[in-house]
């Protein structure tokens, strides 16, 4: 299995929480690429998008991932921003840089998780929701997430591994997902000739 590990998936799919838990199990460092963006450019991803728009953000985000990939350490778990794999050739680049895991949830689950984890840092979700018709915020968000995920899934599904989330939303979901990925990595270490 090529290292580092990249966790990818839609906003609120748990990349950061799962990444931290997974890194702890492995004893490796964890890097949240949204936080790295903020450290490098001195501005949160949300503020950057609100100030300059999505396209300039994607260029900076790409440069940030490439900069970190130059570091001479392999044993790292990265959580990417939700839109990163779906821009230009980013998914192909990620696949060459390491091993990618897509945390897959349904639009219904993601909508619930978005409201639980918070929208403030996510202008893409707020703008998307506001552009939809519907009586409640939850209905408008669900309409947006359905459309948006349908556009993004062709990129996400190119990941080396797809990790389907449990059907029922529960506090322990992220821990369960981290444990599954950890076991996959461990079984691969025991049997390195296996594919991927």
Nearby residues of 81 by Cβ (< 8 Å), 6 or more positions away: 33, 34, 37, 45, 61
Q: Does the footprint of ligand S3P cover residue 81 (CB under 6 A)?
A: yes
Residue 111 near residue 103, CB atoms below 8 Å: no
Residue 42 near residue 112, CB atoms below 8 Å: no
Stretch that binds ligand S3P, among 75-83, 96-104, 164-172, 181-189 (CB under 6 A): 75-83
**CB-nearer residue toward ligand S3P: 49 or 91:** 49
Stretch that binds ligand S3P, among 17-25, 44-52, 138-146, 188-196 (CB under 6 A): 44-52
Ramachandran angles phi, psi of 163, nearest 5°: -110, 105
**Binding-site member from 7, 8, 11, 142 for ligand S3P (CB under 6 A):** 11
Q: How far is the CB of 31 from ligand S3P (least distance, A)?
A: 13
Enumerate the β-bridge partners of residue 103: 163
**CB-nearer residue toward ligand S3P: 77 or 124:** 124
**CB-nearer residue toward ligand S3P: 20 or 188:** 20
Enumerate the β-bridge partners of residue 102: 8, 162
Q: Does the footprint of ligand S3P cover residue 83 (CB under 6 A)?
A: yes
**Binding-site member from 5, 77, 103, 124 for ligand S3P (CB under 6 A):** 124
Please report, as residue ranges, which positions from 156 to 195 form the binding site for ligand S3P (by CB under 6 A): none
Nearby residues of 55 by Cβ (< 8 Å), 6 or more positions away: none
What the block records as the tokens of 38 is 């903020």
Q: How far is the CB of 189 from ligand S3P (least distance, A)?
A: 28
Residues 33 and 172: their CA atoms lie apart, in Å, by 24
CA distances from 123 to 11, 51, 94, 178 (A): 11, 11, 24, 27
Q: Does the footprint of ligand S3P cover residue 100 (CB under 6 A)?
A: no
Q: How far is the CB of 19 from ligand S3P (least distance, A)?
A: 10
If binding means CB under 6 A, how many residues of this protein chain bind ligand S3P?
11
């Amino acid at each position: 299995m090529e290292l580092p590990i990249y966790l990818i998936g839609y906003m609120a799919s748990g990349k950061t929480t799962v990444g931290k838990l997974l890194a702890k199990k492995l004893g490796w460092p964890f890097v949240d690429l949204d936080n790295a963006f903020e450290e490098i450019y001195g501005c949160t991803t949300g503020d950057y998008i609100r100030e300059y728009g999505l396209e300039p953000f994607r260029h900076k985000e790409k440069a940030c991932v490439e900069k970190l990939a130059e570091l001479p350490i392999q044993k790292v778990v990265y959580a990417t921003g939700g839109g990163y794999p779906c821009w230009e050739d980013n998914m192909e680049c990620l696949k060459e840089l390491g091993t990618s895991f897509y945390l897959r949830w349904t639009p219904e689950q993601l909508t619930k998780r978005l409201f639980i984890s918070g929208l403030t840092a996510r202008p893409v979700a707020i703008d998307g929701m506001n552009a939809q018709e519907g009586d409640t915020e939850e209905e408008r968000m669900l309409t947006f997430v359905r459309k948006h995920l349908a556009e993004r899934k062709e990129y996400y599904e190119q990941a080396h591994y797809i990790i389907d989330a449990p059907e029922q939303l529960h506090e322990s979901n992220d821990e369960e997902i981290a444990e599954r990925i950890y076991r996959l990595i461990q079984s691969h270490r025991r049997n390195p000739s296996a594919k991927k």
